[in-house]
Structure formats: structure tokens, C-alpha cells
Amino acid sequence: MSEDLAKVLKTFIKCQQEQTQALIQSQQHQQRMLMESMTQLFSNANLVPAFEHFDPAKEEFGSYHKRLEHHFSSHGIIHEVDKKSRMLSWVGSATFSLLEKLLPKLHSEGTYEDLIKALSDFYGKVIHYIHARVEFNRCCLKPSQTYRELMAEHRDSTKMSRYVCPNSSYQCSLVDENIRDVIIIRSPHRDFQAALLQKKAPTFEQALSIAEVMVITSRTINVIENEEPVLQVNKLDPKDSPNG
């Protein structure tokens, strides 16, 4: 009886040891995997390339912010704390100093959203909408500019011109119509103006399509008219030669 009990105890102890060993190996494997994941995470974070400094003389802050968000997204930067620290290290000394003045508690309480709002408010253009509309109507096609680029330039300035209804529920907008009208009126191409004025109510898309065709046609005609003449070389008859 005692021998049977000893065998049972021995078997039980052996099973316990095997289970304990398996548990230890499992924990070691999990810890190793966790360490590898953390190492990979920190490695990827350190590989994120720096973003360029913000220069208000070359770019509006709204555009800089959009490009910065794309940079964060493409490199897996999703946490607000990481965004804040990286933005502060990238914006440049002048903008960094400005943020410290705009946000006295920048380092202790300021969030990434606080940074964005402070700079957006500071660099936001405050002009009368009539002023914006005058500038909108003065915009002309530049020598090296396409109509598509001009229309994009007009569209970018429509918010300050208030051509977009502030109440989005109304779904009311005169943006396309105003861009179309300004481009027709101020176009330097008379053929383009004539083609659109022959239509009773040309759409924005029709105006853009006709404009692009006119530009391509004009450029092609210029190439044809400025084509270099082909030099014709005649073979000299031996009888016409001075020595012939």
C-alpha cells in the first residue's frame, strides 16, 4: 500500500514538474516575443524621417498641417503624444518660440490639437469677404499656367470669398459658376471666349474641357507655324561643274 502511494506521489510530482517547466517555457517565449515586438516598435519609430520646418513665407499653415498629417500616417505615428513631440522637434526654432508664447503651458499641458489650433488661429488670414471677392475676380491666367491650375487656384480662395454657403445642410454653392464666369471674362484667348459665349449656359466641366482643347490647339498651331524650313540639297551635275 505504501509502495503504491509512493508511486502515485512520484507520478504527481513529476507531472507538476513537467507542467511547471512547460509554463516557464511558455512565459519565456511570450517575454521573448514581447521584447522583439518592443524592439521592432522602437526601431520603426527611430526610422521615421524628419519633416521639414514650417516657413510661413512659403506656405500657409493649413497646407503644412495637411502634409504633416500625411507624413504621420505614412509612418504609423498615431498617438497624440508622439505627434506633439515630433512636431515640436520639426517645426523649427522660430515656430517653436512662437508656440511657447502662444501656449504658456505648452510643455506641461499643451496637446497636439492645442498646437494645431494655436498656429491655425495665429496664421489665419482675416480679411473682408468683399476684399477676397475683388482679389478673386482679378485672378488671371499666367503665361505658363494651365486653365486647370487656374481653376484650382480660384477654388482655393472661395472660402474667404463666401461663395460657399456656411450651412452645409442647404447644399448650396455658387463656386463652379463663379469660377466659370471669371475665367470666361478674363481669359486672354478670344477663341475660347467666343466658343463658350455661343452656349446659353455652359457648365463648369464644359468650360474646362473647351479651355484645355483651345490651349492644346493653340500650342500645336504655334509649333506648326514656327517649324524650321527643310533645306533641299540638289545633286550637282558634272556638266555644270566649273571643272567639268
> Would you state the pLDDT for residue 162?
60
Comparing 4-18, 98-112, 135-149, 154-168, the range with the smallest average pLDDT is 154-168
Cα separation, 113 vs 177, in Å, equals 36
Cα separation, 104 vs 32, in Å, equals 43
| pTM (two decimals) | 0.46
Determine the Cα angle at 159 with ends 158 and 164, to 5°: 80
Cα separation, 219 vs 173, in Å, equals 34
Q: Which of 10-24, 96-110, 217-231 has the highest mean pLDDT?
A: 96-110
Query: Could you tell me the residue ranges of all domains in the chain?
Result: 61-123, 129-222
Mean per-residue pLDDT over the chain, rounded: 79
Q: Are 141 and 147 in contact (CB under 8 A)?
A: yes
Tens of pLDDT along 80-107? 999 999 999 999 999 999 999 999 999 8
Give pairs for 93-99: CB < 8 Å, separation 24+. Answer: 95/53, 95/54, 95/119, 98/122
User: Is 99 or 18 the better-scoring residue by pLDDT?
Assistant: 99
